[in-house]
A and B are shown apart, each in its own frame.
Chain A
Amino acid sequence: MSALLEIDGLGIAFGGITAVDDVSFAVRAGEIVSVIGPNGAGKTTLFNMISGLYRPSQGKVRLEGAEITAMEPHLLARRGLSRTFQNLQVFGEMTLLENVMVGHHLREKAGVLSDLLGLPASRQKTRASAESALALLARVGLEKAAYRAARTMSYGALKRLEIARALALAPKILLLDEPAAGCNAVETEEIDRLIAEIARAGVAILLVEHDMKLVMKISAHLVVLDHGRKIAEGAPAEVARDPQVIAAYLGQHGQEQVLHAEG
């Protein structure tokens, strides 16, 4: 019961090919746990199963002791699970402010009729969401662009926007899938600072990130995936010494960075 999120033997196959196989670990309240592994190891797929987008073919997920395996994502949001996406999923035609306001959806419901008629209940909720969304945008340094359409913004800005939007849910646990991928050095630093700040506020974080320096520095716990299987787990310093990890992950990771540089 001490764990906030428990992953228990989780696995999934696509058309007979196993993408994730029998992965177990736990995240405690307020803790940062990082999942690392080469491209295609199954990290995103794992996130998709935890957040209810994919239905696992084996295993269980528990949040605060209650089983949430394959639960609808919007119900998971109610229970305090929030996430960002490796491949941006922003609402391109909406302003940055509106993007974050969507994160307040669960708190701003007033009913369709009230919304159609523009009743005070609806208008008041819109005002409240806007206020708190503006504060969140300020927290990620985007308040100046609040009224611009998301599709006009740079990649790095949208990465931060996704974090602000995910925070709007006031989550207990936040899943960040490569939040700094594709960002420049300044933006990466900004995101590092943000992650540390979120964790200090008591939100548990499950992180996928390729920036090893960052991962080693902020994680309480590391989980290493390779070919869909967990090959190591433990404190960062321990895991970094694991010969299997060095062989499977770090070797390939070097190649991958070359690829990133080319792309």
Chain B
Amino acid sequence: MKPKHLSLLVLTLLVVAAPFFFPSGFYYRIGALIFINAIAVTGLVILIGYAGQISLGHAGFAGIGAYACALAPEHLGLPPVAAILLGTALSAALAWLVGKPILRLHGYYLGVATLGLGILISMVLSNEAQWTGGPDGIAVPDLGLRGLLRDLGWRIGAGELWYGLAGTVMILGAWLALNLFDSPTGRALRALHGSEVAARTMGIDVARHKLHAFVVSAVYASVSGSLLALMNRLITPDVAGFMHSVQMVTMAVLGGVGSVLGAIFGATILTALPQLLTVFHQYEHMVLGLVMILVMIFLPDGLLPSLMKRLRGRDGE
């Protein structure tokens, strides 16, 4: 079996099997939250892991996706599903527009530019209170799926529904990212990550490919934000904030930003921990910061790839 299919199989089995071990219904919500974060983090695998381009502002796109679901139904009369699509279209358009100038930057400069982009988006969301409700946030309409299912005669709890829905979208996202890895575009991205000069001389339009990676990862973040808003029925500008961007990056690098499964693993740990250990909440910043530093120093490939290497023994070399 190809590694791609193995990864997808493992992922699907885990999503399906996990509920059998849930001590209470509360865990469906944690699971859904994990999947929602994992979607955004999978996008970062494409941007950071494949293409080697940092973003410290991707929460901004999650914010756009989230607020599209809050605002479009009320102001444009769109159904929430269409609002998700509108959000992704807006995120993609913004990523494309802003990506053009800033993706010419390298390293630190790109980090700062994306950081600024994220801060700018969250600033708009907090400041334009007449639209967005300001820092206190805004209510989000119901997706309507549960009602639809009930009319069809299938009664399902909100937790279970979101677990299934977010899990499905996450697996879909992982499938797309894994397809990309082993495709012409994926190789071009990984090539420009390895050596931008060599990639250019091999005929790769580096600017264009970076832009593609940026737009695709923005779409992932946007979908993640939309689902978060629709699940919680309330959204605040924090969804677009710097801390959320940092959380995404930390999840990705903790698990292993080069691998989709690894990044999802990272999302699982960093989402579940604060939910399960309430003491954790007080130390969340410190733990996040420490994780970022320690992983980069001691496990630069991330937890999962390092574990796999350990398990497989020496044959990686």
Give the B-binding residues of A (Cβ under 8 A): 51-53, 72-74, 76-78, 82-83, 85, 89-94, 98-99, 101-103, 105-106, 108-112, 114-118, 122-123, 125-126, 129, 152, 165, 168-169
Contact = CB atoms under 8 A, between A and B. Distances in A.
Main secondary structure, interface of A, reads helix
B7 interface: no
Contact of B203 (A91, A110, A125, A169): A169
Contacts of B179: 115-118, 122
A94 B191 contact: yes
B200 A85 contact: no
Given A53-B200, A101-B187, A126-B184, 5 more contacts: A74-B206, A98-B190, A102-B187, A102-B188, A105-B203
A53 B193 contact: no
B182 A105 contact: no
Across the A-B interface, give the 10 residue pairs with the lowest CB-CB distance, nearest first.
Answer: A91-B194, A77-B203, A115-B183, A118-B179, A89-B198, A73-B200, A115-B185, A89-B195, A106-B203, A108-B184
B216 interface: yes
B216 A102 contact: no
Contacts of B206: 74
26 contacts: A53-B197, A72-B200, A72-B205, A73-B201, A74-B200, A74-B202, A74-B205, A83-B201, A90-B194, A91-B191, A94-B187, A94-B194, A102-B202, A108-B184, A109-B184, A110-B183, A111-B185, A112-B180, A112-B212, A115-B179, A115-B180, A115-B183, A115-B184, A118-B175, A126-B184, A165-B198
B110 interface: no
Interface in B165-199: 175-177, 179-180, 182-188, 190-191, 193-195, 197-199
A89 B202 CA distance: 11
B203 A78 contact: yes
Nearest to B194: A91
Interface string B13-50: 00000000000000000000000000000000000000
Contacts of B190: 91, 93-94, 98
A52 B177 CA distance: 32
Contacts of B198: 85, 89-91, 165
A73 B206 CA distance: 10
A98 B187 contact: yes
A130 to B, nearest CB: 10
Contacts of B200: 52-53, 72-74
B317 interface: yes
Most buried by B among A89, A117, A126: A89
Contacts of B184: 105, 108-110, 115, 122, 125-126, 129
A152 B191 contact: no
Given A89-B195, A126-B182, A82 B201 contact: yes
A105 B148 CA distance: 47
B181 to A, nearest CB: 9
A229 B188 CA distance: 37
A105 B176 contact: no
A124 to B, nearest CB: 11
Most buried by A among B182, B197, B198, B317: B198
B85 interface: no
B52 to A, nearest CB: 10
Interface string B203-214: 111100000100
Contacts of A105: 184, 187-188, 191, 202-204
Given A117-B179, A125-B184, A74 B194 contact: no
Contact of A90 (B180, B195, B201, B258): B195
B204 A102 contact: yes
Nearest to A51: B201
B211 to A, nearest CB: 10
A207 B276 CA distance: 64
Contacts of B177: 116
A122 B201 contact: no
Contacts of A116: 176-177, 179-180, 183, 185, 216
A112 B185 contact: yes
Given A85-B198, A91-B198, A117 B188 contact: no
A102 B197 CA distance: 13
A103 B201 CA distance: 9
A123 B186 CA distance: 12
A99 B204 CA distance: 13
A253 to B, nearest CB: 28
Nearest to B213: A112
A73 B203 CA distance: 7
